[in-house]
């Protein structure tokens, strides 16, 4: 990533991307077929047999060295260029969500209560398209491209499983020269950005995500005689309210966090004061320091309020994904590449991070790279009001996959020092 005067147009810094755009446009039918097959037959979690089979079918005949992971349905596919050089990794997640679909699409999910509502079907299709595009340029490649088809992003930590199986341990180039993974990139489609737009930023780009569980233990009894009991319900309500004050009064607004209580569980009958009330929810933070500060604060607040009412609070925080932190130069590089492909008006340096979480964070803890967002609002929708990701009605503009495939391909080419054409 040699520095170049920023006054130059992106096309002069990276080459004329007309050929890549045309190649990606010609790949749309291929990508659309993959996407629609996966959308109709979505799968959840780490074991995605039908998805893996469809991906392997899509990659069949390409000059790839394929490794099937054993702990999950993950696929690692390596494209080795004709010349030596480093390895760049491109990742696409494959799993769906446990929810119904109400889009009315002709290729809507045929599986009850399972839907590709986060666009992972498009991620797989775009990554397969990029694999095909780069395979056609194999003779030009000075290095290798590693395609990471990953299951289990939606809460299962699929990336961590694939890392544990050694996906980054790529060994030497076929000529014996060292060829380590030097950069890693992932695209994520969003229905909240105009189709074909690209956005990212350096530093924290997505939050950490942890599960909060608090049990308030009192003493049960008859609803007519609360003075004979230790009623945990009002104490639990007090804790919920105090947790919001913890965020607004103890957490810096420029390094934000969010505590969302989503379940308050207590009681079995209207005339019974229960012994236990349970609080459940999620915690999001934008830095590891704030994440720890919030965890410590939750324990202090819950235990303190319970003790003030002569009760006990037991706090358990189940750690989820860490903060996704983009490498600054890699994010800048991705934005610059995108500008060469779609022009400056369709590229945005995001003003702030997203409070959702991603297990690509584990990859970025080990290698420089970036998570990049791709706009996918259907052309007939307004991105400000379109059904968002994770909605039962979310839809994505398939033509946006042209930009996605072009960006994936160009990130690999330019990382390996090859001009766009």
Catalytic residue positions? 321, 398
- CA–CA separation, 25 and 133 (whole Å): 11
- CA–CA separation, 405 and 187 (whole Å): 10
Nearest Cα to 58, choosing from 124, 151, 116? Answer: 124
In sequence order, what are the beta bridge partners of 318?
A: 211
Q: 215-238 as b/e, with b when 16 or more CB fall inside 10 Å?
A: bbbbebbeeeeeeebbbbbebbbb
Task: Provide the pairing of β-strand 142-150 with 75-80.
Answer: antiparallel
**DSSP character for 66?**
E
Nearest Cα to 251, choosing from 278, 283, 225, 203? Answer: 283
Task: Note whether 363 and 205 are within 8 A (CB).
Answer: no
HSE-up (13 A, CA, CB side) for residue 305: 26
């Amino acid at each position: 990533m040699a520095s170049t005067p920023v006054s130059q147009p992106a096309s002069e810094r990276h080459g004329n991307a007309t050929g890549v755009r045309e190649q990606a446009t010609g790949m749309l039918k291929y990508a659309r077929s993959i996407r629609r097959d996966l959308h109709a037959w979505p799968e959840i979690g780490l074991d995605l047999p039908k998805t893996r089979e469809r991906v392997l079918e899509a990659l069949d005949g390409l000059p790839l060295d394929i490794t099937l992971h054993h702990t999950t349905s993950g696929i690692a596919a390596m494209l080795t260029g004709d010349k030596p050089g480093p390895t760049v990794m491109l990742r696409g997640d494959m799993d769906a969500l446990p929810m119904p679909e109400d889009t009315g699409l002709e290729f809507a999910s045929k599986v009850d209560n399972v839907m590709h509502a986060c666009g992972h079907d498009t991620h797989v299709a775009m990554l397969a398209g990029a694999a095909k595009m780069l395979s056609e340029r194999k003779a030009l490649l000075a290095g290798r491209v590693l395609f990471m088809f990953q299951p289990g992003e939606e809460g299962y930590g699929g990336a961590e499983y694939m890392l544990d199986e050694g996906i980054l341990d790529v060994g030497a180039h076929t000529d014996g020269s060292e060829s380590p993974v030097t950069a890693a990139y992932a695209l994520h489609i969003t229905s909240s950005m105009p189709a074909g737009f690209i956005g990212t930023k350096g530093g924290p780009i997505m939050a950490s995500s942890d599960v909060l569980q608090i049990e308030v233990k009192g003493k049960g009894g008859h609803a007519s005689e609360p003075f004979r009991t230790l009623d945990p319900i009002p104490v639990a309500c007090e804790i919920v309210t105090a947790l919001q004050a913890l965020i607004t009064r103890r957490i810096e607004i420029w390094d934000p966090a969010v505590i969302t209580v989503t379940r308050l569980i207590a009681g079995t009958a209207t005339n019974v004061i229960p012994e236990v009330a349970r609080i459940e929810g999620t915690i999001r933070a934008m830095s590891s320091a704030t994440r720890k500060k919030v965890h410590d604060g939750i324990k202090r607040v819950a235990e303190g309020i319970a003790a003030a009412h002569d009760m006990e609070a037991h706090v358990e925080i189940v750690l989820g994904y860490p903060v996704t932190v983009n490498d600054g130069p890699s994010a800048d590089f991705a934005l610059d590449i995108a500008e060469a492909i779609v022009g400056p008006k369709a590229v945005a340096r995001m003003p702030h991070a997203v409070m959702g979480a991603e297990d690509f964070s584990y990859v970025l803890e080990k290698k420089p790279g970036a998570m990049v967002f791709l706009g996918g609002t259907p052309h007939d929708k307004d991105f400000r009001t379109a059904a968002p990701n994770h909605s039962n009605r979310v839809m994505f503009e398939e033509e946006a996959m042209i930009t996605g495939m072009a960006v994936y391909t160009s990130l690999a080419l330019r990382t390996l020092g090859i001009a766009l054409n």
